[in-house]
Structure 1
């Protein structure tokens, strides 16, 4: 894959779709590539994160904690570990390649460097994440209202 291909894949990945081309170019050079064979484990549940991953080719399955739940499939331009782009977190699931795959790891230090060099991108990410949090709060408030209506009144 060439630089233009990498940039095209990154440009459609969650979070990175907010990046301008020069920021994507820097990310492409600074990100670490890893090839995975079919069945190979990228990381295990409970491990501390070492960054987020963009799927550049192939498909990975995120195996849920609860037995019987279907794995979540992540393919080209998918992002695994958005929070891990910004800080170390515990991995909530196993990630395993379901076919020969390639991922790009973006560490928090690389992400920090890109955001320092491209403050407009940092502002766009901040705005997008703030809006997501507001949507979550609105949704939770709606759930609280419905639960309040369902619960018997105290006398």
Structure 2
């Protein structure tokens, strides 16, 4: 794939889409391409995570606790792994032939120095995600008390 194609898909990706072309070029230049066949497992729940992935082509299933979510082009998978040493919360399996961009945490972290607005946007997005997780946990707690 050409660098311009990678920049185009990154520009369609929520969170990354708000960055300027120069930042997207840096991400695309440092990213690695990963190709999977249908049924291949990208990672399993509980694996150590040191990178995020952007879907370039194809669809991938994320399975956690019996619940499946299917995502496709321009989806960012593992955004928390871009900024923190975490374990994978789900298993990711290719639904069809798949091409992804692998973005290493170390490479992504360098962007915060050059693009501090990225750090602010990511912080706001992660805070919203934590709030949603708290709401979900409260619902589970209420159901268990019944």
TM range (shorter): 0.7 to 0.9
Map of 1:49 onto structure 2: 49
Map of 2:81 onto structure 1: 84
Structure-2-length-normalised TM-score: 0.82
Map of 2:100 onto structure 1: 103
The answer to whether the 8 A contact 2:15-2:121 is kept is no
Q: 2: distance between equivalents of 1:50 and 1:103?
A: 15
Q: 1: distance between equivalents of 2:86 and 2:75?
A: 19
Q: 1:25 to 1:39 in 2, by over 3 A?
A: same
C-alpha displacement at 1:129, in angstroms? 4.1
C-alpha displacement at 1:126, in angstroms? 3.2
Map of 2:23 onto structure 1: 23
Structure-1-length-normalised TM-score: 0.78
Larger radius of gyration: 1
CA displacement 1:56-90 (0-9 Å, x = unmatched)? 11111112223xx3x21110001111111111211
What SS does the corresponding residue of 2:22 show, helix, strand or coil?
A: helix
The answer to whether the 8 A contact 1:65-1:92 is kept is no
Structure 1: gaps of 5 or more residues: 148-155
Q: 2: distance between equivalents of 1:135 and 1:94?
A: 23
Structure 2: gaps of 5 or more residues: none
C-alpha displacement at 1:16, in angstroms? 0.7
The answer to whether the 8 A contact 1:18-1:125 is kept is no
RMSD: 2.4
Greater strand share, structure number: 2
Map of 1:153 onto structure 2: none
Q: Does 1:39 align with 2:62?
A: no
Tell me the matched-pair count.
Answer: 139
Q: 2: distance between equivalents of 1:82 and 1:42?
A: 15
Q: 2: distance between equivalents of 1:46 and 1:135?
A: 22
